């Protein structure tokens, strides 16, 4: 198995308008590496080039220049295309078909035989929580249920790379949790999930790595835990605070606020956080909570996009 599920090399797409005699650069020298077997978040504001990139990766749009490989091969390889599952952001299914019939239709288009479909269709409907609506027509489905059905068709043929474009946009909190669980299940089976979403809290919970685009270029890429900064500020809750403990705290940190059993302290740097915990314990303090503040993915996203302007 190849090390990277997706590799792009200075990938570029320019849309030219003959009438207006101007060009729009949608994707600009994109270098991207998506490790095999991970959940990868592909993020960016509207117009950043995410959808154009996905269309190029699927072979639906030709790049102006640069190159890319999917699962170690060219997208022109039909064998590689069969190993990709895709849920578009804007999908429209045949409304007169039942959920079961729709999956059979897409399965046959993917070259799946009847014996395999007989087993897989009930499996994926169960995975997305639509078993009881297998024989309901698509026109009877809510937007969220259609979203679930779209995910079912994307994973029906058991692909190695699953590209999901806004898979939880129409789902309620319970539905989003189910999709998160499904994504993690796919990862546990060695699948690669390439996830485009504006719900950054969802991305933060499931993704191993992320890339943030702006104006068609990657501004940040890497392990999500490494990208999110830890601030030298700690929120602490004690079982029973004492003056002795607070005096010890003030020897290594600056107390920013104090409220009963809780206080917030700032140390000189991230490396001093363990020293703060140690001094509280040595002074006899019993900690109920000790939480260093960390930058959220939303904070990082906003900071990166603003810096790139």
* 163-199 tens-digit pLDDT: 999 888 778 888 888 888 999 999 999 999 999 988 8
Q: Give the residue from 110, 101, 51 showing the smallest Cα distance to 78.
A: 110
- Which domains does the chain carry? 4-227 (3.40.50.300), 230-297 (3.30.70)
CA–CA distance, 286 with 124 (Å, rounded to integer)? 49
- pTM tops 0.95, yes or no: no
Residue tagged 């679930």 (tokens): 148
Higher pLDDT, 246 or 230: 246
For 45-75, how does the pLDDT look when each residue is reduced to its tens digit (9 = 90+)?
988 999 999 999 999 999 999 999 999 999 9
CA–CA distance, 117 with 157 (Å, rounded to integer)? 9
Residue percentage of the chain with pLDDT more than 90: 67
Q: Give the residue from 61, 113, 57, 55 showing the smallest Cα distance to 80.
A: 57
């Amino acid at each position: 198995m190849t090390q990277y599920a997706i590799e792009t090399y200075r990938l570029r797409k320019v849309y030219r308008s003959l009438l207006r005699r101007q060009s729009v650069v949608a994707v600009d020298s994109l270098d991207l590496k998506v490790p095999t077997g991970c959940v990868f978040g592909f993020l960016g504001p509207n117009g950043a080039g995410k959808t154009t990139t996905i269309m190029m990766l699927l072979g639906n749009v030709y790049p102006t220049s640069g190159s890319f490989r999917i699962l170690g091969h060219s997208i022109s390889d039909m064998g590689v295309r069969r190993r990709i599952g895709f849920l578009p952001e804007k999908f429209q299914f045949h409304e007169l078909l039942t959920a079961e019939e729709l999956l059979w239709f897409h399965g046959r288009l993917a070259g799946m035989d009847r014996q395999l479909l007989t087993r897989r269709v009930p499996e994926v409907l169960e995975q997305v929580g639509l078993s009881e609506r297998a024989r309901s027509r698509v026109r009877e489905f809510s937007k969220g249920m259609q979203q679930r059905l779209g995910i079912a068709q994307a994973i029906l043929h058991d692909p190695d790379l699953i590209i999901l474009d806004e898979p939880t946009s129409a789902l309620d909190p319970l539905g989003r949790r189910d999709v998160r669980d499904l994504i993690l299940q796919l990862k546990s089976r060695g699948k690669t999930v390439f996830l485009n979403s504006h719900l950054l809290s969802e991305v933060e919970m499931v993704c191993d790595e992320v890339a943030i685009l702006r104006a068609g270029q990657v501004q940040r890429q890497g392990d999500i835990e490494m990208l999110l900064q830890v601030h030298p500020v700690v929120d602490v809750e004690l079982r029973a605070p004492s003056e002795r403990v607070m005096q010890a705290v003030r020897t290594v940190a600056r107390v920013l606020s104090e409220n009963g059993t809780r206080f917030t302290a700032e140390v000189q740097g991230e490396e001093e956080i363990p020293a703060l915990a140690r001094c509280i314990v040595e002074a006899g303090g019993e900690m109920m909570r000790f939480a260093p503040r960390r930058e959220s993915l939303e904070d990082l996203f906003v900071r990166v996009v603003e810096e790139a302007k």
